Amino acid sequence: MINSCIYTGTVIHKRFKPKKHFFKYKVFSLFIDLSELETLNDKIRFFSLNRFNLISFQEKDHGDRDGSSLTKWVKKNLKQNNINSEKIKIKLLCYPRILGYVFNPLSIFFVYDNQEKLISILYEVKNTFGEQHTYVFRVDDKNNLIKNNCSKKFHVSPFIEMDCQYFFKILKPGDKLSVVIDQYDKDGKILFASQDGVRNDLNSTHLIKSYLKHPLMTLKIISAIHFEAFKIWLKGIRLVKKKFNIKNNLTVEN
């Protein structure tokens, strides 16, 4: 039995100031049990691990981004920060490569213990400059709604200053997916972003159906980012100068 699945749904972004802006588009994401990567490669048509296919997943898109094992990367970072790294299961929510291309603004690693309890979440954020920052949180499994918050440490939007706070709200992935991010500056709420989805089994049939409904999804994502940025600029919102460069940073949050 394959534990990995597909979530099909929508992404919403709503900006509140200094000018209002809204967009919404349909997407599908993979929710991959990292221990099943080889099995998925062998059993699912049109899907490959670490090589080109209609739909693929490459380990170099995440973690250290050098093609090394993502499982080892997660375990290394958990161990270094005194989070249980033994007998764990790791699942990754992300967009797949389609015809060799992908851009993941946000990927999320969910870490479970041997009793299937969620113990940690890693939010992996990328920008269009090829940079990445990962926020690592311990998780209390008592509630179905997981809440995390942290200071912004990474330049993402060219229209939002660095002095901000992120508030993450996630329902534990099940039959449905819900990820919400609220962003605040010192004067109030700037941005609401969300992704919702409905679960389908990850198999050849559902994967090709998802592709046929969204054949150029990954190109659409990066195109939409630039197109929406252009529309924001036309509304007169000033550009924020990028103050520093990073390649691949990680911080642990309480």
The β-bridge relationship of strands 248-253 and 132-138 is parallel
Give the helix/strand (H/E) hosting 223: helix 217-234
Residues 238, 44: Cα–Cα separation, whole Å: 46
Using alpha carbons, select from 212, 178, 219, 169 the residue that is nearest to residue 197: 178
Residue 234, CA distances (Å) to 182, 219, 231 in order: 24, 23, 5
Counting every residue written for the chain, the total comes to 254
With vertex at residue 53, the alpha carbon angle to CA 50 and CA 54, rounded to the nearest 5 degrees, is 135
Q: Residue 225's pLDDT is what?
A: 87
Q: Residue 254's pLDDT is what?
A: 67
pLDDT tens by residue, the chain, 254 residues: 899 999 999 999 999 998 899 999 999 999 999 999 999 999 998 999 999 999 999 999 999 999 999 999 999 999 988 998 999 999 999 999 999 999 999 999 999 999 999 999 999 999 988 999 999 999 988 889 999 999 998 888 888 889 999 999 999 999 999 999 999 999 999 999 999 999 999 999 999 999 999 999 999 899 988 888 888 888 888 888 877 788 888 898 86
